[in-house]
Amino acid sequence: MDKRVVIVTGAGIGIGRAAAEKFAGQGDHVVVTDVLAAEGKGTVSDIVKAGGSAEFMPLDVRDTAAADALIADVGQRHGRIDVIVANAGIAHRVPMSEMTDEKWDATFDIDLKGMLRVIRPALAQMREGGAIVCLSSIMGVAYGWDEHVHYSSAKAGVVGLVRGLAVEIAKRGIRVNGVAPGYIRTAQLLSEENSLGPKAAEIASPYIPMGRLGDPEEIASVIGFLASSEASYLTGQVVTVDGGLLPGRY
């Protein structure tokens, strides 16, 4: 096929869904992956209704064999993999006094090692001009987040992954970058159990110079740019997209 083949993990909801729609809207074929089958299929359905090209493939990024099989299948059927958006992740509130090895490892297994499982087998399928975009967080580049130390630590690890891998594969003409979103209007942020809850806009907006939460589509636009030829000399960078929150905290 002439279209670029783009794999987006965690594309059933939030930023992943917005990214999938962004790529499909510009003519790419999107492989939507998620553990949330109904939501992933919904993303594909909406893309197809809008005239785009997409397919759903279930994937739990904790499963190495499943990730290997999915990448092999996509490569065999389409003959190429052009872009990977490593987005799948979780964030659960756990005070350090209650942290167990299992809770810590579960977050790293999805938020950091889950990226490894998808990117590692895909590298053999990627050609010069390919791009990888990994989702970190402001909590991984500049902020501490109480009761989310495991999340902040994993997202800081994503920054190291981006930098190290970018240098390793630069000579192949494949670029690796990251995005560190600030407070974005997603199900995660609006979760009262694990984040700011329904009053997130009221709580966070006074600290954000732009005075509002970001939308998933605004993160998707940056992801799309990083994966495009417009960013052809940009690699090893993590772009913070936070409405001015970090520079505004003086």
**pLDDT confidence of residue 93:** 93
Question: For the chain, which domains are there?
Answer: 5-248 (3.40.50.720)
Identify whether 233 is a catalytic site residue: no
Q: How does the average pLDDT of the chain come out, rounded? A: 95
pLDDT value of position 190: 76
The least confident of 42-51, 55-64, 154-163, 179-188 is 179-188
Helices (H), the chain: 14-25, 37-49, 64-78, 101-111, 113-122, 138-141, 149-169, 200-204, 216-226, 245-248
Percentage of the chain beyond pLDDT 90 is 86
CA 162 → CA 31, 40, 97, 119, 139, distances in Å?
Answer: 22, 26, 31, 11, 16
Q: What is the pLDDT of residues 88-120, one digit of tens each?
A: 999 999 999 999 999 999 999 999 999 999 999
| pLDDT range class, residue 2, cuts 50, 70, 90 | low
CB atoms within 10 A of CB 29: 22
List 143, 151, 183, 250, catalytic entry: 151
pLDDT in tens, 194-222: 777 777 788 888 889 999 999 999 999 99
